C-alpha cells in the first residue's frame, strides 16, 4: 500500500513559504471578495483549497490501490454483459 500523508496535519504554524502564482483576473477578484467576506486571508483560503485537492487525490490513489487485485473487464465485455442483463 502506498505511503499516506495526512495533509490536514500541516498548517501555517510552521514558517510559511512565499510563492508566486498567476491567477485569472476573475479568480483573483473572487478570491479577494471571499477573503473579505470570510475575514480570512487569501493565503488561508488557497492553502485550504490545496489541502482539499491533495486529500482528494490521496483518497483516489488509496481507492486504486485497494482495487488493484480486482479483475479487469474490457469495455466491450462490459457492454456485452449490460446487454445480456437487459440494461442496454
Tens digits of residue pLDDT in 40-55: 999 999 999 999 998 9
Query: Domain limits at 65?
Result: 1-88
Q: What is the pLDDT of residue 31?
A: 97
Split into its structural domains, the chain has a count of 1
∠ CA 76-80-83 to the nearest 5 degrees?
140
Q: What is the pLDDT of residue 13?
A: 59
Q: CB of 47 within 8 A of CB of 12?
A: yes
Q: What is the pLDDT of residue 4?
A: 55
Q: CB of 48 within 8 A of CB of 10?
A: no
Which residues of the chain carry a pLDDT beneath 70? 1-13
Amino acid at each position: 500500500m502506498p505511503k499516506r500523508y495526512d495533509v490536514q496535519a500541516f498548517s501555517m504554524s510552521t514558517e510559511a513559504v512565499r510563492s508566486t502564482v498567476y491567477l485569472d483576473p476573475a479568480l483573483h477578484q473572487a478570491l479577494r471578495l471571499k477573503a473579505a467576506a470570510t475575514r480570512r486571508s487569501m493565503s488561508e483560503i488557497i492553502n485550504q483549497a490545496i489541502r482539499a485537492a491533495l486529500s482528494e487525490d490521496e483518497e483516489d490513489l488509496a481507492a486504486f490501490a485497494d482495487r488493484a487485485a480486482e479483475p479487469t473487464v474490457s469495455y466491450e465485455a462490459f457492454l456485452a454483459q449490460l446487454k445480456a442483463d437487459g440494461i442496454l
